[in-house]
Amino acid sequence: MQYIVRPMTQEDVPQVTAIDREAFPTMWPPMNYQRELENHLAHYIVVAEESDKTSEPPTTKIEANTGLAHKVVEWLTPHKAGPEPPQKIVGFAGFWMMAGEAHIISLAVKKEFRRRGFGKLLLVELVRAAVKIEAEIVTLEVRVSNYEAQRLYLQYGFIGKGVRRAYYTDNREDALIMTLDDADSSQCVAKFEEWRNSLKFGL
């Protein structure tokens, strides 16, 4: 199976909404991704399974046997005639860009695809995309109890910068603010290139 990272489209919204509900079941109201795609501050990407007849130019192509944890190459079934079914979405992420600051709004991987490196892929590609449009800082809030996500962010240079008390409306849990400073520095850009290549997500 091959995977691509590409911008989110309206066609992806039902699957993205389902992943969002699975990942953030207590968040209310749910995020309206249809509206998000019309928000000029917002930038969203998805990881999708790539069919062999996709018409979208991939930004990143991943061979499952070279990068991600599953080492088996499952070659795609031969292409059938007729309209393409929607690509299966594995995960998504997005940020809002404001005054040199990219604020990560969400990042989620479908449960059945977790722990295979897709979270890393989404984060690395999101930071690269943010820097490309001149983000100097990348920041986010994460639940203080969400150690899995915090570990992911720490691995990629984010550091804890403070706490927003009772930030989450469902259970009044605190949010840890995590920030990647100097995201546009040549050192940081090089690091993310290196990480991207070490994940073997390059074409």
Ligand X SMILES: CC(C)(COP(=O)(O)OP(=O)(O)OC[C@H]1O[C@@H](n2cnc3c(N)ncnc32)[C@H](O)[C@@H]1OP(=O)(O)O)[C@@H](O)C(=O)NCCC(=O)NCCS
The verdict on whether 153 is a catalytic residue reads yes
Choosing from 153, 156, 173, 194, the catalytic residue is 153
Q: Considering only residues 134, 148, 170, 194, which one is a binding residue for ligand X as defined by CB under 6 A? A: 148
Rounded to whole angstroms, how far apart are CA atoms 23 and 73? Answer: 28
Structure tokens at 62: 């991943």
Does position 119 interact with ligand X (CB under 6 A)? The reply is: yes
Residue 30 or 185 with smaller CB distance to ligand X: 30
Binders of ligand X among residues 15 to 34 (CB under 6 A) are 23
42 DSSP β-pair partners? 96
Residue 25 or 185 with smaller CB distance to ligand X: 25
Of 3-11, 76-84, 127-135, 151-159, which segment contacts ligand X by CB under 6 A? 151-159
- Which residues, at least 6 apart from 101, have a Cβ–Cβ distance to it below 8 Å? 135, 136, 137, 138, 139
Token pair 């203080």 is found at 144
- Rounded least distance, CB 80 to ligand X, Å: 30
Length of the chain: 203
- The long-range contacts involving 130-135, CB below 8 angstroms and separated by at least 24 positions, are 130/43, 130/95, 130/97, 130/102, 130/183, 131/183, 131/184, 131/188, 131/189, 131/192, 133/43, 133/97, 134/100, 134/184, 135/95, 135/97, 135/100, 135/101, 135/102, 135/183, 135/184
Residue 97 or 158 with smaller CB distance to ligand X: 158
The verdict on whether 84 is a catalytic residue reads no
- Rounded least distance, CB 194 to ligand X, Å: 15
Does position 70 interact with ligand X (CB under 6 A)? The reply is: no
- Rounded least distance, CB 32 to ligand X, Å: 18
Q: Considering only residues 5, 45, 102, 108, which one is a binding residue for ligand X as defined by CB under 6 A? A: 108
Binders of ligand X among residues 152 to 191 (CB under 6 A) are 152, 155
Residues that bind ligand X (CB under 6 A): 23, 107-109, 114-120, 140, 142, 146, 148-149, 151-152, 155
Catalytic residue ranges: 141, 153
